[in-house]
Amino acid sequence: MPRHNPALHRNEKRPMTPGRRRLLIAGVIVLIAAFGWGLWVILEPAFRHTIVITTGADNGIYRGFADRYAPILKRDGIKLDIRSSSGSSENYQRLNDPDSEYEVGFIQSGTTSPKESDHLQTIAAVSYEPIWVFYRGDSTITRLAQLRGKRVSVGVPGSGLLNVAQVLLGYSGITRDNTKLLEMDAVKSYQALENGQLDAAFFIGRPDAPMQTTLLNSDLKLMSFVQADALIQKFPSLSKVIFPRAATSIVNDLPQADVTLLAATALLVAKDTLHPALVYLLLDAAKTVHGGEDYFTPLGVFPNLNTADFPVSEESERYFKTGRPFLQRYLPFWLASFIERRLLILLPFMALLLGLLQALPRMAEARIKKRLVVWYREIKALEDEIWKTSHPTPDQVAQWQDEIEHIDANANQIRMPQRYFQDVYALKQAIAVVRNRISRVADQATTGAA
């Protein structure tokens, strides 16, 4: 138990109970933990050096995108940890798992039916993914219904192509009951077409991808979707694109007519817990990689936010309206993002801080003067007792004299800044007044006893 000043027995506070002490310690721990958490939220991106991205097959279009993102992100000290997958559906499943290490991935539009509870957000739509149907035979196929009863490859499990192909075939009345639908990857599908083991196959990818280049320069026929407009009405996640005549070879005039294709859109999707500063870095990388012109879009069409599959991140909306935030051009990306996103909090906080700074001198002064106030209260309590006691006994007078001397002794030990010396001497004057009062009472008591 701590020792207490005996000269303050009239106004002495009760010692802190064990329960109050434990409560105070718990409160301090909570405040420290809250401060530590807030500090980590601010500084966490500064210690982040890796983004885990889920792509697709090792030689696929998504892997190609990620390989081009990696050196761009590296300039800002971020390593892109690229993880292969079977395709868009598996990417969605990985990102949809809140406990998974995957933070970003490519998802093909129309692959899934996302829900608000997924906690996923679109960073940007980055590219068209044309859907190609190559076939063999003498007849010309322009409608998917013409594939009824044939052997058709529709992609592999986990791929976005498999889902899209099945939906499109379903609109044309083609099911596994009336047509042999096989789940094969692109290489095996091409080989099976060449060997006559397949009649048609669905493929997806850019025209300049190795597999598409091989297919376009082969003797296989490419289907033109004459019902593209109607299919898009039923499947809004797809778009209609034109592969122009002679796009494969001007010399050989391949293809010999414009080909209408359907195209999914590659979406760069992230968990909504991804730090905003990293979103801006990914947007910069996407703009560099996808901002050029290609077979289907002029310069600057991609990346964009023309998608309704997932909610669009707030950072993306700001990026496409005003570009990269001003502060991010001159400050470390994590610090700039923190300042911008917390501005509404920072402004009142700064006002509060300014008020606190103005109040600190007054608080310090009050704390210093409190050392004197406690003694003034003790003197006042002692004086009140003297006035209330009409006929004090010698023992009472002796006690009062002892108390005032204790108070005077403690007043001499008070350590105060020099500018408060006048307050100390004012206290001594008050002590002298009460001492004189006690002396008069003692003289009266002695006279009365005589």
DSSP characters for 82-102? EE--S-HHHHHHHHH-TTSS-
How confident is the model over 170-197, as a mean pLDDT? 96
pLDDT-derived band of residue 346, with 50, 70 and 90 as boundaries? low
303-317 pLDDT, tens per residue?
Answer: 999 988 899 999 899
64-84 pLDDT, tens per residue?
Answer: 999 999 999 998 888 999 999
pLDDT-derived band of residue 350, with 50, 70 and 90 as boundaries? confident
pLDDT-derived band of residue 416, with 50, 70 and 90 as boundaries? confident
Listed ranges 344-348, 412-416, 422-426; the one with the highest mean pLDDT: 422-426
* Tokens found for residue 46: 């500064």
Q: Report the pLDDT value the prediction gives residue 45, as an integer from 0 to 100.
A: 53
Q: Where are the domains of the chain?
A: 48-341, 347-449
The answer to whether the peptide bond before residue 244 is cis (omega within 30 degrees of 0) is: no
Q: Report the pLDDT value the prediction gives residue 143, as an integer from 0 to 100.
A: 97
pLDDT-derived band of residue 426, with 50, 70 and 90 as boundaries? confident
* Tokens found for residue 100: 């998974």
Q: Which residue has the higher pLDDT, 14 or 276?
A: 276
How confident is the model over 385-400, as a mean pLDDT? 84
Q: How many whole angstroms separate alpha carbon 236 and alpha carbon 261?
A: 14
Q: Which residue has the higher pLDDT, 16 or 37?
A: 37
* Tokens found for residue 175: 């099911």
Dihedral in degrees, nearest 10, Cα atoms 172, 176, 178, 184? 90
Residue 265 has pLDDT above 60, yes or no: yes
Given 3.40.50.11540, 3.40.190.10, 3.90.1150.10, 3.40.50.1360, which CATH number is that of 48-341? 3.40.190.10
Q: Which residue has the higher pLDDT, 153 or 432?
A: 153
Among 353, 360, 277, which residue's Cα sits nearest to residue 319?
277
Q: Of 95-99, 118-122, 412-416, 444-448, where does mean pLDDT reach its minimum?
A: 444-448
Q: Which residue has the higher pLDDT, 403 or 11?
A: 403
Contacts of 416 (CB under 8 A, 6+ apart): 368, 371, 372, 423, 424
How confident is the model over 233-242, as a mean pLDDT? 94
Q: Of 146-160, 411-425, 428-442, where does mean pLDDT reach its minimum?
A: 411-425
CB 224 within 8 A of CB 134: no
Residue 20 has pLDDT above 80, yes or no: no
Q: Report the pLDDT value the prediction gives residue 3, as an integer from 0 to 100.
A: 44
Q: Which residue has the higher pLDDT, 192 or 417?
A: 192
3-state secondary structure of 311: coil
Straight-line distance from the first to the last Cα atom of the chain, in angstroms, rounded to the nearest whole number: 47
Among 171, 65, 158, which residue's Cα sits nearest to residue 111?
158
Q: Report the pLDDT value the prediction gives residue 2, as an integer from 0 to 100.
A: 42
Average pLDDT, the chain: 85
pTM: 0.66
Q: How many whole angstroms separate alpha carbon 129 and alpha carbon 227?
A: 18
Q: Report the pLDDT value the prediction gives residue 415, as an integer from 0 to 100.
A: 76
Q: Report the pLDDT value the prediction gives residue 340, as an integer from 0 to 100.
A: 60
